[in-house]
Structure 1
């Protein structure tokens, strides 16, 4: 509570610029907030304010924490449009994330009626998606991977549930680009990404494009043995699949390397590096293979 009073004092000169100020723990997704003269420690998750059942995909508080910078976005909830500013504040050598919320529904050209709110919500969704998704494949980008994976690792530690991260890499993809051109190569990447995303659980798992033809698959509450079953199903489907683009038919395989943890304190880089080691083994033992620690 002492920290929040210090922050309130620092922000007092900007009182007319905000409706609510929240102190965010972006990794654990917890929050403290104060409105005017009332301060409340909220035990619920920070994303509950937005009436969502899971993490905010475009979490600028996590981005502010990781990049030590200020970020701004807009969100819609309960028929209201909010301007959101997340900024790091250092107090006694510790970094806190301050999130400022301002209801701008009645500001400027924003009109409080159902049609305009729906249009604004659609526009905001497009803007937020553009910040976290790969333009070509529609999968999550490296920014999202860095922001989300740390929270998933932390959840695994707190809940004592397994987490498996899998690196997927198309075999001999350079040959596709060399033989058929980059337009066809891009089509293969988009279709491969679709196969990955539709093969995992949409309510808990997620897929990101790590770079080039490499993708990251995150399987939550999934141990190595069950992850192996999921990935093997994908691998076998892929080896039987024919990528058909008019008069061009392509068969291509992929190699997969995964690493599973249970309540293990590990950094993002360490976890991805372990998965990458198994991907390397899969590549160097003949390709079109799945290697996951069990």
Structure 2
């Protein structure tokens, strides 16, 4: 029986697991097809293994393939949208072929980490959310990092183009930032970046708008649905906010200005790289024209 387990045997003997798991199924890990046992024949159900957890493509970290290769049982937490799943996989032999039994349980609100079940913080789903946030947030300025920009900007562009709406981006660069670092030190430089990011956040319109740290002292502001006029108004608010703000650190009053480059488009054929390059060119026009200004 160890090497000749049939699917009906699994179904008859794993009934206890039905209370522990939402889905018990057999899959072919190579084709990713869900299988049924029909008499003496294994047949495909017609669905792919990843559909059950709301995915539209194969998981990048497929543990079923790993279980097939290593002949071992594996478990993982898979996070899709706002839900978390515990997936257990174990290899079996059926009709001289190695298949995988998958046990799937949604654990969004029922899987905890640690000894205490008090509070929401120890939910694994919350831990996963925190880890995800760490990968896309800039720890210094508490805005999106370059990875966040690279992942979010293409999506927002496609959404705007699909609705025939414009989209605008603003590149912002701190003027003479190297001089600030050289004169006052990197701690003060970090303070300036953090405070300036706060100024930018005050000036965006709603939850659709976002700001990311593009690199070093350069920031990207994305304004979905905004044409050039609306983007210019936001850039002017940001420019004024920076000019009015007092940047004081270690009793030093630091003069801070910034340059802005704006690009707006409704061109569905434009690539992300081209869009960023156009805004970057406008930014450098602002810097070459004397800095502390907006070019669009």
**Equivalent residue number for residue 279 of structure 1:** 283
Structure number with greater Rg is 2
Contact persistence 1:110–1:116 (CA under 8 A): no
Identify unmatched segments of 5+ residues in structure 1: 1-5, 26-60, 65-70, 85-100
* Structure 1 segments (4+ residues) deviating >4 Å: 6-9, 105-111, 113-118
Contact persistence 2:113–2:122 (CA under 8 A): no
Provide the rounded CA distance (Å) in 2 between the counterparts of 1:169 and 1:83: 44
2:203 counterpart of 1:171:
no
Provide the rounded CA distance (Å) in 2 between the counterparts of 1:117 and 1:11: 37
Alignment of 1:183-222 (within 5 A): 183-222=187-226
Matched length: 226
**Equivalent residue number for residue 103 of structure 1:** 106
The offset of 1:279, in angstroms, is 0.3
Correspondent of 1:268 among 272, 275, 289: 272
The offset of 1:241, in angstroms, is 1.8
Identify unmatched segments of 5+ residues in structure 2: 1-27, 36-46, 61-75, 88-103
The offset of 1:117, in angstroms, is 4.7
- SS state of the match for residue 139, structure 1? coil
2:49 counterpart of 1:10:
no
Q: 1:206 to 1:75 in 2, by over 3 A?
A: same
The offset of 1:240, in angstroms, is 2.4
- SS state of the match for residue 122, structure 2? helix
Provide the rounded CA distance (Å) in 2 between the counterparts of 1:189 and 1:144: 18
**Equivalent residue number for residue 164 of structure 2:** 160
Contact persistence 1:278–1:291 (CA under 8 A): yes
Contact persistence 1:241–1:251 (CA under 8 A): no
**Equivalent residue number for residue 155 of structure 2:** 151
TM-score when normalising by structure 2: 0.66
Q: 1:76 to 1:10 in 2, by over 3 A?
A: closer
Cα shift readout 1:170-213 (whole Å, capped 9, x = no counterpart): 00011110000000100110111111112102411000000000
Alignment of 1:78-117 (within 5 A): 81-82=84-85, 102-104=105-107, 115=118, 117=120
- SS state of the match for residue 146, structure 1? helix
Alignment of 1:22-101 (within 5 A): 22-24=54-56, 74=79, 81-82=84-85
TM-score when normalising by structure 1: 0.66
Contact persistence 2:210–2:222 (CA under 8 A): yes
Provide the rounded CA distance (Å) in 1 between the counterparts of 2:241 and 2:202: 12
Correspondent of 1:182 among 171, 181, 186: 186
Provide the rounded CA distance (Å) in 1 between the counterparts of 2:77 and 2:153: 21
Contact persistence 2:50–2:56 (CA under 8 A): no
Correspondent of 2:254 among 241, 250, 253: 250
Q: 1:279 to 1:102 in 2, by over 3 A?
A: farther
Cα shift readout 1:50-78 (whole Å, capped 9, x = no counterpart): xxxxxxxxxxx9xx7xxxxxx9764795x
**Equivalent residue number for residue 32 of structure 1:** none
Correspondent of 2:229 among 225, 229, 232: 225
Provide the rounded CA distance (Å) in 2 between the counterparts of 1:116 and 1:234: 39
